[in-house]
Amino acid sequence: MSMIFISHRGNISQIIPHRENSKEYIDEAIEKGYDVEIDIRTKDGNLWLGHDTPDYPVTIEWLCAREDKLWIHVKDYESLMTFCNNEIEFKYFCHQSDDFTLVSNGMVWCHKNR
């Protein structure tokens, strides 16, 4: 198994809060060869990128085009059900303050600072 480098919300070498979870920032990280952990939440039946708030609207089609590079942190129950009930094999997980959690593909997601 080879090592996977995963960008956190698009960040690679430093935290840039105003760009985190934006589609453009995510694509930049993917273009540089990274997988990307993203935050997804649902508001009014639509999917949004955003850690604490729904910041950037996103479609399933946009996610599908990048599904092999995305690690989706679902932030609410409705979003979780969207991915549980989808035929696409997205990598998704949910947690609050756990040191680790199980990802839908059977891998374990760990937090390095805990």
Binned average pLDDT, 10 residues per bin, the chain of 114 residues: 86 95 97 97 94 95 96 93 86 82 79 62
Residue keyed to tokens 């035929």: 87
Q: How far apart are CA 39 and CA 96, in angstroms?
A: 12
Half-sphere exposure for 30 (CA within 13 Å, toward CB): 18
CA 83 to chain CA centroid, Å, is: 12
> What pLDDT does residue 95 have?
80
Q: Are 29 and 12 in contact (CB under 8 A)?
A: yes
| Domain boundaries, position 56 | 6-110
Total domains in the chain come to: 1
In a domain, 78, yes or no: yes
Q: What is the pLDDT of residue 109?
A: 78
1 domain-assigned: no
- On whether the CB atoms of residues 38 and 54 are closer than 8 A, the answer is no
